[in-house]
Chain A
Amino acid sequence: MSSRLLSGVATLALFAGAATAQDLKFAPGADARFDWASYEAFAAAHDLAGEQITVFGPWLGPDQELVESVLAYFAAATGADVRYTGSDSFEQQIVVDLEAGSAPNIAVFPQPGLAADMAARGFLTPLGEDAEAWMTEAYAAGPSWVALGVYAGADGSDAFYAFPYKADVKSLVWYSPENFEDAGYEVPQTMEELKALTDQIVADGETPWCIGLGSGGATGWPATDWVEDLLLRTQTPDVYDGWVTNEIAFDDPRIVGAIEEFGWFARNDAYVAGGAGVVASTDFRDSPKGLFDSPPQCYMHRQASFIPAFFPEGTEVGVDVDFFYFPAYAEKDLGSPVLGAGTLFTITKDSPAAHALIDFLQTPIAHEVWMAQGGFLTPYSAANPDVYANDVLKGLGEILTNATTFRFDGSDLMPGGVGAGSFWTGMVDYAGGKPAADVAAEIQASWDALK
């Protein structure tokens, strides 16, 4: 009886698997905005019938459905059996799998720092010079994207190991346009105006910012984004690049200055909803909800492009809430720097199908399918921006393609012990009232200890 039940469940699962492979979100050839020619050409060039390819990444839940909908096109074009699994503890699990030798074909790293570690230990397969040359040409600010995927291998020589696909823009401030209208505020164009607006809101008896650093074991990371964004707005990109590689020490006055800029916003009781004391303990997923309270707890929230997933149910982005670019200082003439993040596709177990999947990511259709469903931004300029699911995403995409300076999230580039360790805890200490210079010195000491 129970074995019959089990096999019933197994067949059911089998059918369900087959069904998702067949169900393409957009019928090929139907919508003229999509680049179907690239899909047809890819399908004609690749036949992988009967091959299985496994993909392991950090996406779960709704995001998992989205990535599977893109992979379904690869499966339909080549006949390969594509399996995606996600994990919330990707960073730990991929290390165990690579060390033990049970790696998937493709691993999707959210952090270049970790991918570089794995490449240095010889676990990754180079993607080849064609992919590198393609990305230099096709991505906006191409060389800076390529640089994210070039690491030293086990033999010490540099090669292109990781393919950046799917980006997040971090330099954004979210606000409610109607609350701004009610109070008569204008969207600030420069950092000076943003600071003046902050003071203005306080003078009106309201609270300007919602800031929350809480994130379970990763508490503190939202503050690292603030510091990175502010460093790009107070110093040249060279300083930023030197900082993430530790050529410029963490306790350099220029870095301490950026931390203190963050303190200007977050350590002032009048500027933050609930007071500066609750910044470190408020969960980052809950903090944007203050924008939508009645009366509003705060007027602005600085967070990356993924945050609408945590807005209250029924919130319509573009109507109830909108974003503006976290502005730069007018007086400093540093252009309009953009801080971002993204995920990197790497080959962890070599097979022809794995290389074919990397080729697939170089077709416009692989980008457009996800763009049209939301939650996805791409610097690939040949992907049609008209397919973005809404105008807000299109606006975000334009920020990415128009950036004069694009820099990847610095804490993801630093070694794990700093970027996912002492930097986070240091920022929690700083938000709690510790002097910036002391915090920076401690982080530098932890970095020295890793060398």
Chain B
Amino acid sequence: MDNIAGSKSGLSWAVQISTLLIVLLWLFPTVGLLVSSFRTADQISASGWWAALFPQEQNEVIRLADPDEARVPDGAMFVVSGNLFDGAERQITAWGTSSRRIAEFAPGETAELGEGETLTIEASGDYVWRGTDDQLSGRAQRSFVTVVSQPEFTLANYDNMLFDPGNSEGMARAFFNTLTVTIPATVIPIVIAAFAAYALAWMQFPGRALLIACVVGLLVVPLQLALIPLLRLHLGIGIGKGYLGVWLAHTGFGLPLAIYLLRNYMASLPRDIIENAKVDGATDFQIFTRIILPLSFPALASFAIFQFLWTWNDLLVAKVFLIDATGDTTVMTNQIVELLGTRGGNWEILATAAFVSIAVPLAVFFAMQRYLVRGLLAGSVK
């Protein structure tokens, strides 16, 4: 017995450790995205997110203060002095004045820039630049410094996205629009699918098997195929582009899976209960509302989560059926794409937007998660 128990615990350890590893591997990109959302665009392009967590030696180019504004007379010469980092705590380990020799001088040394012009930079970033009237004018001298910088994170991306007056109004509008799209687009297919699933599972009528086969067949039709004909139909019958159109489209695209999932679940409910009810004189509608619906709640909830996530993340259907040329109706996903700019290079916005838009689906998921686990088994066990 001991032997068996020992090997069992060893196995469960192995399972737990490998689960942990898989979870870590799975989360790895998300962590990277989270770290990136707290960095500036220049930081993201300069180094990877994993490097952001540790102090780093960097080479930077910093221009001294504009001599035309900052210079003060000193005898026959002029002097510009200040701090390269505007007072921030950083340590210079080497510096230079030419792009060809960026570590020519140690902190505290004085560089001769020719004809009496000199520059001294201390380890703290304090500098003194001395020269004649002619030398200290026009374009400011560049300094090339090697500094050790501490990890630096910023909330500016979130601030820009949520509170910048130019964006926040659009985001708020898009948020409510998305809810306006998502909630009906989740409820309508569930209502229709529940009725259909009951009929296909428990009512006897000719052609039932064929109808089920059709629904299963519709599962494999790609929705892209239907975009233009469906939009043309909507325009033809006067729905046009708008909420009604996008609800109908989401309902249509979601129904095959909903019916299939719910029918399988309902068909697996014990036959005895339904037959008993029939013997007691219950109508089909009473059986559906009193018995089937309460029993099917896990399957309904799990499909609701799926459908909610799809419609929340959807961009394609919204672009085709909702967003018209007046620009009044926009959704979160579209708003985020717009924030990326014409040529789409703003990675920091992308990372930040991902976490902002993830918030609501996450809340929905955790609220209904216990149904999801049960519902995933829908139809698989009796």
A residues touching B (Cβ–Cβ < 8 Å)?
5-6, 9, 12-13, 16, 52, 54-56, 58-65, 83-89, 93, 96-97, 99-105, 176, 178-179, 182-183, 216, 283, 285-286, 289, 292-296, 306, 309-310, 312-313, 319
Interface residues on B, range: 35 or more
What chain A residues lie within 8 Å of B231 (beta carbons)?
A: 96, 100, 102
Bound Cα distance A103, B241 (Å): 11
Which B positions have Cβ atoms within 8 angstroms of A?
A: 40-42, 45-46, 59-61, 98-100, 102, 139, 142, 144, 166, 169, 172-173, 176, 180, 227-228, 231-232, 235, 240-241, 319-320, 323-328, 337-346
* A310 and B325 in contact, given A182-B98, A289-B45, A295-B102 (Cβ under 8 angstroms): no
Interface of A is mostly: mixed
Q: Are B142 and A13 touching (Cβ within 8 A)?
A: no
CB nearest neighbor in A for B146: A294
Chain A residue with Cβ nearest B61: A294
**Chain B residue at smallest Cβ distance from A307:** B343
CB of A295 within 8 A of CB of B325, answer no
Cβ distance A420 to chain B, nearest Cβ, rounded Å: 15
A85 touches B176 (CB 8 A): no
Q: Which residues of chain B have C-beta atoms less than 8 A from A176's C-beta?
A: 99
Closest Cβ neighbor of A103 among chain B residues: B325
Output the least CB separation between A86 and chain B (Å).
7
28 examples of A-B residue contacts, CB within 8 angstroms: A9-B172, A9-B173, A13-B169, A52-B326, A54-B324, A54-B325, A55-B325, A58-B342, A59-B342, A60-B341, A61-B338, A61-B340, A61-B342, A83-B325, A88-B337, A88-B340, A89-B319, A96-B227, A101-B235, A102-B325, A103-B325, A104-B325, A176-B99, A182-B98, A292-B61, A295-B59, A295-B100, A296-B99
The 10 closest A-B pairs by CB, nearest first: A54-B325, A104-B325, A285-B345, A61-B341, A100-B231, A85-B327, A294-B59, A182-B98, A83-B326, A182-B99
**With known contacts A100-B228, A102-B324, A294-B59, A182–B100 Cβ distance under 8 A:** yes
B residues less than 8 Å from A312 (CB atoms): 42
Dominant SS among interface residues on chain B: mixed
- B61 x A13 contact (CB < 8 A): no
Task: Determine whether the beta carbon of B169 is less than 8 Å from that of A16.
Answer: yes
Given A64-B338, A87-B319, A295-B100; 14 other pairs, CB 8 A cutoff:
A9-B176, A54-B326, A56-B325, A60-B341, A83-B325, A83-B327, A85-B326, A88-B342, A102-B324, A182-B99, A183-B99, A285-B343, A294-B60, A296-B99
> Are A294 and B102 closer than 8 Å at their CB atoms?
yes
- Residues from chain A with a CB closer than 8 A to the CB of B319 are 87, 89, 93
State the Cβ distance, A111 to closest chain B Cβ, in Å. 14
Q: Is the CB of A60 within 8 A of B240?
A: no
Q: Which residue of B lies closest to A299 (CB)?
A: B99
Q: Are A310 and B345 in contact (CB under 8 A)?
A: yes
Q: Which residues of A contact B172 (CB under 8 A)?
A: 9
CB nearest to A285 among chain B residues = B345
